[in-house]
């Protein structure tokens, strides 16, 4: 007979069972806390701010609008079997039908993912204000109204409730349309707004509390393109590149003006090399690979400038500009002394506008560039990117949100990539 009461023995055996279950459930080594962020590009499209060129007529009927979009679809696809027109709205300021904006559906969908998956900070990838950035009132619309409608209202309280949350911001080509003074007016607004961080046109930053873990590096790709040789894009019917020899041009005010601006590429390489962060992520407006078919010459010029630094020292490159949701990897075989492993590259330029993927060009690009792998592409959708950094893995998830304006997040793609900059 036991010398302990039956009630004590029952409790003792129950405790042993709990301990046994706990020992099974406990991992051999606890995982590090994840660091997550959301990246959204080309957010600033509002139809009421658009204007028609002098030779343009508004689409007076929905049929005219859909017909024009079907013709555009056939420029990039063999038939209309998967035709997906951009959601439409009748815009009274234009007098006709035009493309609706995904600004608020994307913002709501991203906020929902951040609430469920976590977001410690955000990144806005340029083209924050359509169609021409700030104008200093030259078009009769105050910049204060633009900043309120395109920056503060959709994203001024994004991430509320998360300590030290901020959105790291940059300029895109549309943000540079009017003048350097107008671009700097947007910069000043972003610097003064409590929910955005943009200390300069290009910069590096360590999110609060993430010292030694994450450092971001923002480059102004429009300024870089204005400083180098860029040819105009042209494709034949099969998606093959046509070499026209014609050059793109930029206004002088976009070109690097200060010694620091002229030294941006060297600054990036030196800053990446000197960083002690485990994760080094480079952001820029323009993609280094994309499949819209009208950006490939800009991408080629930027790869010449940026790939050496990124392949040697960075863990990822994230961009907008092409209004698609895409994931690529570049094996860095074109760069001497590159770090081991491919660099993941993401295009998240569908924050308010659609673009169709050019399927013929995408196939030609894949065939002619063995160093590049196209992991995922989806056009004709709104969307955003969510990234989680944990242990030695970068997990990237691409989300879309449907054209019904519901703001529902739909996961389209997810893949993990190894840290390469340790």
The model's pTM is: 0.92
Q: Is 348 helix (H, G, I), strand (E, B) or coil?
A: strand
Can you tell me the distance from the alpha carbon of 23 to that of 44, in angstroms, rounded to the nearest whole number? 52
Cβ partners under 8 Å of residue 351, min gap 6: 40, 41, 42, 43, 102, 103, 106, 124, 125, 320, 382, 383, 384
**What is the CATH number assigned to the segment(s) 35-56+101-418?**
3.60.21.10
Can you tell me the distance from the alpha carbon of 376 to that of 326, in angstroms, rounded to the nearest whole number? 5
Among candidate residues 306, 152, 280, the one with its CA nearest the CA of residue 216 = 280
The structure tokens listed for 71 are: 């013709």
Can you tell me the distance from the alpha carbon of 324 to that of 84, in angstroms, rounded to the nearest whole number? 13
- pLDDT > 70 in the chain, percent: 93
Among candidate residues 228, 284, 223, 229, the one with its CA nearest the CA of residue 254 = 223
Q: What ranges do the domains of the chain cover?
A: 35-56+101-418
- Bridge partners (DSSP) of residue 345 are 317, 328
Q: Is 390 helix (H, G, I), strand (E, B) or coil?
A: strand
- pLDDT tens, the chain, 422 aa long: 444 445 434 443 443 443 443 334 444 455 689 999 999 999 999 999 999 988 999 999 999 999 999 998 888 788 888 888 899 999 999 999 999 999 999 999 999 999 999 999 999 999 999 999 999 999 999 999 999 999 999 999 999 999 999 999 999 999 999 999 999 999 999 999 999 999 999 999 999 999 999 999 999 999 999 999 999 999 998 999 999 899 999 999 999 999 999 999 999 999 999 999 999 999 999 999 999 999 999 999 999 999 999 999 999 999 999 999 999 999 999 999 999 999 999 999 999 999 999 999 999 999 999 999 999 999 999 999 999 999 999 999 999 999 999 999 999 999 999 999 97
Cβ partners under 8 Å of residue 145, min gap 6: none
Cis peptide before 247 (omega within 30 of 0): no
Tell me whether strands 121-124 and 203-205 are parallel, antiparallel or unpaired.
Answer: unpaired
Cβ partners under 8 Å of residue 10, min gap 6: none
């Amino acid at each position: 007979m036991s010398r302990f009461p039956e009630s004590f023995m029952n409790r003792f055996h129950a405790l042993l069972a709990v301990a046994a279950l706990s020992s099974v459930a406990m991992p051999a080594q606890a995982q590090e806390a994840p660091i997550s962020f959301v990246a959204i590009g080309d957010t600033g499209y509002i139809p009421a701010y658009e204007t028609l060129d002098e030779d343009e007529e508004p689409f007076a009927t929905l049929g005219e609008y859909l017909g024009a979009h079907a013709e555009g679809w056939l420029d990039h696809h063999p038939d209309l079997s998967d035709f997906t027109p951009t959601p439409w709205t009748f815009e009274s300021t234009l007098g006709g039908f035009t493309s609706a904006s995904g600004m608020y559906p994307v913002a709501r969908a991203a906020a929902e993912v951040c609430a469920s998956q976590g977001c410690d900070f955000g990144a806005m990838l340029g083209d924050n204000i359509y169609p021409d950035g700030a104008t200093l009132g030259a078009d009769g619309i105050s910049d204060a109204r633009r900043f309120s409608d395109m920056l503060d209202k959709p994203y001024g309280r994004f991430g509320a409730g998360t300590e030290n949350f901020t959105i790291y911001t940059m300029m895109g080509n549309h943000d540079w349309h009017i003048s350097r003074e107008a671009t700097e007016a947007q910069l000043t607004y972003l610097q003064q707004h409590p929910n955005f961080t943009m200390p300069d046109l290009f910069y590096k930053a360590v999110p609060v509390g993430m010292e030694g873990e994450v450092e971001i590096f923002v480059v102004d790709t429009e300024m870089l393109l204005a400083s180098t040789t860029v040819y105009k894009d042209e494709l034949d019917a099969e998606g093959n590149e046509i070499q026209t020899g014609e050059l793109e041009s930029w206004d002088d005010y976009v070109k690097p003006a200060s010694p620091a601006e002229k030294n941006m590429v060297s600054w990036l390489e030196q800053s990446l090399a000197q960083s002690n962060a485990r994760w080094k992520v480079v952001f820029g407006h323009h993609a280094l690979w994309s499949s819209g078919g009208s950006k490939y010459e800009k991408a080629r010029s930027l790869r010449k400038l940026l790939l050496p630094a990124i392949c040697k020292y960075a863990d990822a490159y994230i961009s907008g500009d092409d209004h698609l949701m895409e994931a690529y990897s570049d094996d860095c075989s074109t760069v001497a002394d590159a770090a081991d492993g491919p660099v993941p590259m993401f295009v998240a330029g569908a924050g308010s506008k659609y673009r169709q993927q050019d399927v013929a060009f995408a196939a030609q690009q894949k065939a002619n560039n063995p160093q590049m792998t196209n992991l995922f592409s989806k056009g004709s959708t709104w969307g955003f990117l969510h990234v989680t950094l944990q242990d030695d893995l970068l997990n990237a998830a691409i989300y879309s949100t449907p054209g019904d304006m519901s703001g529902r997040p739909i996961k389209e793609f997810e893949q993990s990539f190894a840290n390469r900059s340790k």
